[in-house]
Amino acid sequence: MTIQTRDQLINAMANNSSRIIIDKASISSQAAGTFVSLWRATGQPGQGAIPAAAAACNNTTLGALQFTQQVAPSTSYLGIVEGFAGNTGTTLELHDRLAHMGGLNGTLTTAQTVGLDMETLLASNNIAARIGDANYSDIQWWLEWYTATGGTAVTATLGVTYSDGTAGTIAVSLAATRPASHMTPINRLIPSGVVGKFIRAINTVTLSATTGTAGSFGVTATRYRAALYMPVANARFTADWAGLGIPEVANSACLFPIVLTPATSSGIIRATGKIIHG
């Protein structure tokens, strides 16, 4: 059954867990105070592929942290994460990468198809359990870069579908050059720009002008699970189950790291931890 008591938690930490390891090389050409995806960083776990058409991700997707899948009613939780970073003041976040797509062009000013609708994915890859609240309010949406676009600042207008089925648009300002592995939050860590509605799907992206370089970027949907703040470079810091909030990690979760960097690189990231089961 699910972990409900401290004794069950201690037993799971000691006797029923999956070890996770993160050992990622630094990604350069970033900007301080921005999010950097480690999906394409080399190391452990392996380098994730650049997506093409919209697709769901799961625990078998290259780039995902591996853990033992459970049989109901048992489930999994993040029990502890400890690690160090190459940059002072780095925050390491762990997200469940629900779905993604790529291949958007930084020089096109016509509407580009995204086609990432979480409602159509609910029946596969345990997405219905992984998204959290059924109204899509726990989903974080991102623009994610795989190859740098040009140096012209533009506005990206996204055609979206909200949780109630209505359509709308969201404008995201993009500063000059977006490097590979940069992530821009679409809903700015809040549900949406419309009170009481949450983003269910992103259908199109339209750039206000050419950035000057085609590059390659896309849309990624994640669910935030936990974070570890490392205020001093090359010193080990720990977040235990209480600090992490013991978040559930549903079967098929595609856990991967994102860094909020204080510097012009992601810095090396080395961390370990346990996903506990019970």
CB 230 within 8 A of CB 82: no
Residue 248 phi/psi, 5-degree rounding, is -70, 140
35-54 mean pLDDT: 98
With pLDDT > 90 as the criterion, what percentage of the chain qualifies? 91
Q: What is the pLDDT of residue 1?
A: 52
Q: Mean pLDDT for the chain? A: 95
pLDDT class for 17, splitting at 50, 70, 90?
very high
Q: What is the pLDDT of residues 46-86, one digit of tens each?
A: 999 999 999 999 999 999 999 999 999 999 999 999 999 99
Q: Is the pLDDT assigned to residue 98 strictly greater than 60?
A: yes
215-236 mean pLDDT: 98
pTM of this structure: 0.96
pLDDT class for 196, splitting at 50, 70, 90?
confident
Residue that has been written with the tokens 């994730």 in this structure: 48
Q: What is the pLDDT of residues 227-276, one digit of tens each?
A: 999 999 999 999 999 999 999 999 999 999 999 999 999 999 999 999 99
Q: What is the pLDDT of residue 189?
A: 65
pLDDT class for 191, splitting at 50, 70, 90?
low
Question: What residues does each domain of the chain span?
Answer: 6-277
pLDDT class for 177, splitting at 50, 70, 90?
confident
Q: Is the pLDDT assigned to residue 190 strictly greater than 70?
A: no
* β-bridge partners, 144: 183, 218
Q: Is the pLDDT assigned to residue 193 strictly greater than 80?
A: no
